[in-house]
Structure 1
Amino acid sequence: MTDIDETAHRVRADDGPDTGLDAHLVVDRGGFRLDVPLAAAPGEVVALLGPNGAGKTTALRALAGLVPLTGGRLRLDGAELERTPPEKRPVGVVFQDYLLFPHLSALDNVAFGPRCQGATRAEARAQAAEWLARMGLADHAGAKPRRLSGGQAQRVAVARALATRPRLLLLDEPLAALDARTRLEVRAQLRRHLAEFEAVAVLVTHDPLDAMVLADRLVVVEHGRVVQEGTPSEIARRPRTDYIAQLVGLNLYRGRAEGHLVRLESGTALTTTEKLTGPAFVAFPPGAVTLHRERPADTSARNLWRCEVAGLETHGDRIRADLTGDLALAADLTTVAAAELGLEPGAGVWAAVKAAQTHAYPA
């Protein structure tokens, strides 16, 4: 049993066979094959992460019934959904561009779902008013979508999805269309609403911060397959692919450990404080790297490499140097330090990292 299957089994064992999501999504689309096991307990928020073309959106559409499975299974609260039409599934969807009905008010957009489920117009509007109040939008009930800000439209879309009381909530890049300031505010609000949601929520996002803040568990998909899953802290501490390492902001290397030394295929060795034997990863943040124009004679760092500056870019309030040479790595330093070192593309530098600032773990 793989780590991924063990996780799915653990969720089902803890919460019983008839609750939550139990899926194995297999979709063949020409030259692309999605093969993703996915399980989640009621009340759990799972984020699907991965580069463009990894299969995240295909997985979400398969859960919604918009893309048919060519294999595997899809069960929700014990019921098989593979042959259930999309409109009959207890699934709510929040699309990236919200897809609000432009001719309806915010109230009637939210009331649309309950009306489709058989509620009277008065009942549906009463439920919709309650949901808009929860979202802090009671004063905007009569506004058409064009009169709403991006953040308000996003909250209406979430209310519309929740008003049908779904057993599975799907969110496709729900914050992507927002500006930075609005995103910060709406992310906090969305986290609160998801924390109160009693069923399963699956979130697709490219933004690691959205995933870390909103999700209880991350599932990383590359080339149609799950390459790693775990809590945000587990993923951030022990990335297993270059994509994940870049996502969480770490330099990552794979080699063979012999005690405190991990030797890479290139022959370069890294000294760590952990003692391991066999295949291993070594990771460290760009901020752990110190740069010198001359080989330092007084450094206590056990790792020292001759490098060349391949590029420089602003990264937050710091400068990130992309280095090649004995070891390809990223280093973060202040603008003042970069100026004092005279860093520019092509400049030669020595890069040092203390063993205590590395983290080694089995591959």
Structure 2
Amino acid sequence: MTDIDKTAADTGSGDDPAREGLDARLLVERGSFRLDVALTAAPGDVVALLGPNGAGKTTALRALAGLTPLSGGRLRLDGAELDGTPPESRPVGVVFQDYLLFPHLSALDNVAFGPRCQGLGKAQARALAAEWLARMGLAEHAGAKPRRLSGGQAQRVALARALAIRPRLLLLDEPLAALDARTRLDIRSQLRRHLAEFEAVAVLVTHDPLDAMVLADRLVVIEGGRVVQEGSPTHIARHPRTDYIAQLVGLNLYRGRSDGHTVRLDAGPALTTTEPLTGEVFVAFPPSAVTLHRERPTGTSARNLWRCEVSGLETHGDQIRADLGGELALAADLTTVAAAELGLHPGAEVWATVKAAQTHAYPA
């Protein structure tokens, strides 16, 4: 048995000092695309990789799994170098987006497959698999083939299969993407509980900000093959640094130079904020902070006032999202009643106001 196999088979408590978590710098060059992402995580951490399509999230996940070879960098797990180790010999469990359950095997034998590959006898592997299915609330479905399982049940079988090998690194590729909205809510809650109990490192790839915010301790945002921002969900939601992240968390975001309470934007007018800063800054505020008027308002306490034009309207949850151009490009949220009373339509001229107290400025 190799050192990697021993690590995979170990069922210890997680306070072994040799267990150091994940330490990786993933360098992958494929044609004109270059991925250069550093990832570190301690046992018990859940890290979410976020980014637009083509950013490199899935490439990073495949590199961690050993399915895409590294062009350089390093990949260490609990102090052991994994680069060059075959995927099947790594202490890594993977839940793929489409689950990839073996269609000819029952739920029980799908889960038992990994332990069997690790050398466990058939009876022991099936007993372990039964325990995992019971944990997932699927004991009564042990004999079912994948085609007889619902999407949520299949997702839980795939998670049980990944966890049954006692991985030191759990990789989840869009684990909730194939579920309908109602099932997704329930499975997200269950997945959060299982991840909270997981003693090793978990890395989650998702395009859904809610999945990332609910499930992860730390977010790593990738754009163009590199990390553009990382931190806690709260920090990133409060301090977005790119347009993609701002859209992800639902904020209007601008960059400019601050002199006291006035920020002169790189592209657009000046903004008044409550934070007195000097130098390059970001300014953010939510679309709900924007108030629209058909006539130039008088007597308003708002320090920020711009003449805009409605470029588009769309339903956004239970509100209307107005995309505005003109002096400042921004998004505004308002109720359906307010939109009707204002007579909003594409091309309509409006005045947009935002109170300084509703903006947030921070160093760039």
TM-score (normalised: structure 2): 0.95
Q: CA deviation at 1:17?
A: 7.6
Counterpart for residue 106 of structure 1: 107
Counterpart for residue 6 of structure 2: none
Aligned partner letter, 2:156: R
Asked if the contact 2:268–2:327 (Cα under 8 Å) also holds between the matched residues in 1, the reply is no
Counterpart for residue 259 of structure 1: 260
Counterpart for residue 9 of structure 1: none
Q: CA deviation at 1:16?
A: 7.0
Aligned partner letter, 1:328: A
Counterpart for residue 335 of structure 1: 336
Q: CA deviation at 1:38?
A: 0.3
Counterpart for residue 226 of structure 1: 227
Aligned partner letter, 1:38: L
Partner of 2:165: helix, strand, or coil? Answer: coil
Stretch deviating more after TM superposition (266-275 or 23-32): 266-275
Summarize deviations over 1:37-61 as a string: whole Å, max 9, x none. 0000000000000000000000000
Summarize deviations over 1:86-137 as a string: whole Å, max 9, x none. 0100000000000000011000000000000011110000000000000000
CA distance in 2, matches of 1:89, 1:262: 51
Q: For residues 79-94 of structure 1, what are the structure 2 equivalents within 5 Å?
A: 79-94=80-95
Aligned partner letter, 1:30: G
Q: For residues 297-336 of structure 1, what are the structure 2 equivalents within 5 Å?
A: 297-336=298-337
Q: CA deviation at 1:81?
A: 0.4
CA distance in 2, matches of 1:138, 1:51: 38
CA distance in 1, matches of 2:154, 2:184: 12
CA distance in 2, matches of 1:117, 1:362: 51
Change (3 A) 1:17 1:132: closer
Q: CA deviation at 1:265?
A: 2.1
Counterpart for residue 284 of structure 1: 285
Counterpart for residue 3 of structure 1: none
CA distance in 2, matches of 1:89, 1:222: 28
Aligned partner letter, 1:24: R
CA distance in 2, matches of 1:270, 1:17: 52
Counterpart for residue 190 of structure 1: 191
Aligned partner letter, 2:45: E
Change (3 A) 1:272 1:62: same
1:362 aligns with 2:363: yes
Partner of 2:345: helix, strand, or coil? Answer: coil
Partner of 2:188: helix, strand, or coil? Answer: helix
**Runs of 4+ that moved beyond 2 A:** 15-18
Stretch deviating more after TM superposition (259-268 or 340-349): 259-268
Change (3 A) 1:17 1:72: farther
Q: Indicate the percent of aligned positions where both proteins have the same amino acid.
A: 85
Partner of 1:136: helix, strand, or coil? Answer: coil
Change (3 A) 1:17 1:295: farther
Q: For residues 54-65 of structure 1, what are the structure 2 equivalents within 5 Å?
A: 54-65=55-66
Counterpart for residue 152 of structure 1: 153
Counterpart for residue 38 of structure 2: 37
Question: How many residue pairs are counted as aligned between the two chains?
Answer: 349
TM-score (normalised: structure 1): 0.95
Q: CA deviation at 1:266?
A: 3.1
Q: CA deviation at 1:298?
A: 1.9
CA distance in 1, matches of 2:266, 2:17: 46
Aligned partner letter, 1:62: A
Asked if the contact 2:19–2:43 (Cα under 8 Å) also holds between the matched residues in 1, the reply is no
CA distance in 2, matches of 1:75, 1:299: 58
CA distance in 2, matches of 1:155, 1:96: 12
CA distance in 2, matches of 1:147, 1:18: 39
Counterpart for residue 208 of structure 2: 207
In structure 1, runs of 5+ residues without a counterpart are 1-14
CA distance in 2, matches of 1:168, 1:267: 46
Stretch deviating more after TM superposition (352-361 or 258-267): 258-267
Partner of 1:166: helix, strand, or coil? Answer: coil
CA distance in 2, matches of 1:263, 1:228: 24
Q: CA deviation at 1:323?
A: 0.1
